[in-house]
Chain A
Amino acid sequence: MANVDRDYQGLAFDYGRSPDQDAGVAVRHPVVVVGAGPVGLTAAIDLARRGVPVVVLDDDHKLSVGSRAICFAKRTLEIWDRLGCGDPMVEKGVSWNVGRVFFQDERVYSFDLLPDSGHRRPAFINLQQYYCEGYLHERTAALPAVDLRWRNRVTGVTPDAEGVTLEIDTPDGPYSLRADHVIACDGSRSAVRSLMGLESKGRVFRDRFLIADVRMKADFPAERWFWFDPPFHPNQSVLLHRQPDNVWRIDFQLGWDADPDLERQPERVRPRIRALLGEDADFEFEWISVYTFACLRMERFRHGRVIFAGDSAHGVSPFGARGANSGVQDADNLAWKLALVLAGKAPERLLDTYGTEREYAADENILNSTRATDFITPKSEESRLFRDAVLRLAKEHPFARRLVNSGRLSTPATLHGSALNTPDADAFGGAMVPGAPMTDAPGTMHGRPAWLLSCTGDVFTAILFAGDRGFDAATIAAIRALGTDGIPVKVLIVTPAGAAVPGADGIDCFADDDAVLARRLDASPGTCYLLRPDQHVCARWRTFDADRVRAAVARATCND
């Protein structure tokens, strides 16, 4: 698996001629993923683990150039844990939970994104995008169902009622493929999107940001530091993040009038960094770039057999780290649905719910990202006046800290109102409403420490709380029967510390040693939460009834 000494940035992958190129006809594949970025690779791994063969086409033969995304959120790590590649990311990444905000020459306040313990993963890790893609790539290498083809550029997309024909350019010349379904993960300038005459629309922000990754020895803590109007870069904002390998990301707001070609010259950037770090600071440049940002999305993410995911479908400004993180959640949402449809276990309209759920999530991300950008770049004098007033108040007035917006950092969308949710009939407190991604919790399984999220996912999972006396024989039989349904439901019995469930041998039992899970789920004996294969809650009850579980599974798969 992951090799810490590997020079991921320098890796170049060989183009290999596929037998499809000599077939004389367009060979048919159930799924073709276009783009081997974080989203395409995640989708391919998820599908392959479900037994779906996937061809992945990428026009390049390298991992992400420069660092680009660095902040990967807890939920993203949980998805990668489910896919078997979370560990190398977290081992290599810099874990952090705390953000600190400065205004002019003062520390204003700090926030903790994960104040309670009892979670396997931190709020965030910082990790260069090339490592992230490198580890995902290594994960695909262990999955024979993934057929990854470098230097395969998609140049034509023709969907029809039965499938999609793709034209592909390679160093050996062009060839064609047929796909039952295409997942377009080909990034913000998506070729598939433009070849289909589609657009991603929204708002472009009139501001420019200089992003410099520098290598240096420094002793800033592993925190996100954000300055508004600091003395070393007046009137603009600055963001500092620590990455692995002694690399630091420094992001300077430049304003709209800045000249991008001039500003990316190292001799222009050096004094800016010296102003922050001190005149004698010693550092080397890893990467310098100047960006403008936009918030956009396609009107619909599903166009029949062509489905858009990641930056091809939506774009956000990076404040909040919602780009790659939301794209990975797209893949997480899509893979199980597509696998069920391909297996003939769910109707095609299940794929429409990928669109509705992820369009809803994209709107949430765009709203958060737009608001942060408006706070960081006030668009009027009045807006600037209130922005600075909030910052001045924040130091001593806790309420104002909640108004400071240096980026609302990525959290997964709760899919409120999704047609796949079974609305609550019983009363519950807490955040784990239908549509919510399941929270983590510590416990014990098979006598060893375990995390709840590691015991769920991939398949529908019912989390069922046992009391001190366990369940009667009829209930145990009903639990076992659920596991043999056409769309099987795995039942995870949650027991209070030290309790055993007689007759439940072979059924997974999770000991909720400190009652953290019961508290987070507002659970009592008999409470049952049904999770989708992507770990989102889709139904919950105060009492267990296998037929209601079946009805909820049918609803969550459009089989009702």
Chain B
Amino acid sequence: MAILNIEPNIAQPDDFYEALIDMHRDLDAEQSRMANAHLILLLANHVGDEAVLREAMQRARALVPTSSDASRSPA
């Protein structure tokens, strides 16, 4: 494992985070899900490396809480 870089890699993290939240401004929940899907696909293609992508998917899924009260799905 650990092909995926989980160390800091974004020079200005606060700027990035703000931009990410901004991306969703004025979108309703449905539109936000669409935007996220576009973003995932764009980034996945940019990464390209299948092993990295699979590891990211595994980590993304593993973090989803399993208890029934936390069943809201992550985007």
Chain A residues with CB under 8 Å of chain B are 382, 385-386, 388-390, 392-393, 397, 399-400, 403
Contact = CB atoms under 8 A, between A and B. Distances in A.
B34 A403 contact: no
Interface in B27-45: 33-34, 37-38, 40-42, 45
Nearest to B46: A399
B38 A392 contact: yes
Contact of B42 (A385, A386, A388, A393): A393
Contacts of B37: 385-386, 388-389
A399 B45 contact: yes
Q: Which of A386, A389, A393 is the most central at the interface, judged by chain B CB atoms within 10 Å of its CB? A: A389
19 contacts: A382-B73, A385-B33, A385-B34, A385-B37, A386-B37, A386-B40, A386-B41, A388-B34, A388-B37, A389-B37, A389-B41, A392-B34, A392-B38, A393-B38, A393-B41, A393-B42, A397-B42, A400-B41, A400-B45
A397 B38 CA distance: 11
B74 to A, nearest CB: 11
Contacts of B34: 385, 388-389, 392
A388 B45 CA distance: 16
Interface in B4-62: 33-34, 37-38, 40-42, 45
A37 B51 CA distance: 45
Question: At the interface, is chain A mostly helix, strand, loop or mixed?
Answer: helix
For this complex, into which size category does the number of interface residues on chain B fall?
Answer: under 10
Contacts of B40: 386
B21 to A, nearest CB: 20
Contacts of B41: 386, 389-390, 393, 400, 403
The 3 closest A-B pairs by CB, nearest first: A389-B37, A399-B45, A385-B37
Nearest to A400: B41
A239 B73 CA distance: 34
A393 B38 CA distance: 7
Contacts of A392: 34, 38
Contacts of B73: 382
A386 B34 CA distance: 8
A109 to B, nearest CB: 15
Nearest to A402: B45
A399 B44 CA distance: 10
Contacts of A386: 37, 40-41
A383 to B, nearest CB: 11
Contacts of A400: 41, 45
Contacts of A382: 73
A390 B33 CA distance: 13
Nearest to A386: B37
A244 B38 CA distance: 41
Contacts of A397: 42, 45
Contacts of A388: 34, 37
A385 B38 CA distance: 9
A496 B73 CA distance: 63
A5 B55 CA distance: 61
A553 to B, nearest CB: 38
B31 to A, nearest CB: 11
Nearest to A387: B37
A137 B40 CA distance: 53
Contacts of A403: 41
B57 to A, nearest CB: 12
Contacts of B42: 393, 397
A323 to B, nearest CB: 30
A380 to B, nearest CB: 10
B40 to A, nearest CB: 8
Contacts of B38: 389, 392-393
A164 B63 CA distance: 59
Nearest to B39: A389
Nearest to A390: B41
B48 to A, nearest CB: 9
A392 B38 CA distance: 8
A388 B42 CA distance: 14
Contacts of A390: 41
A38 to B, nearest CB: 38
A543 to B, nearest CB: 37
A309 B58 CA distance: 40
Contacts of A385: 33-34, 37
B4 to A, nearest CB: 20
A18 to B, nearest CB: 58
A385 B41 CA distance: 11
A388 B34 CA distance: 8
B71 to A, nearest CB: 14
Nearest to B44: A399
Nearest to B38: A389
A462 B37 CA distance: 51
A445 B41 CA distance: 50
Nearest to B33: A385
A25 B60 CA distance: 70
A43 B32 CA distance: 55
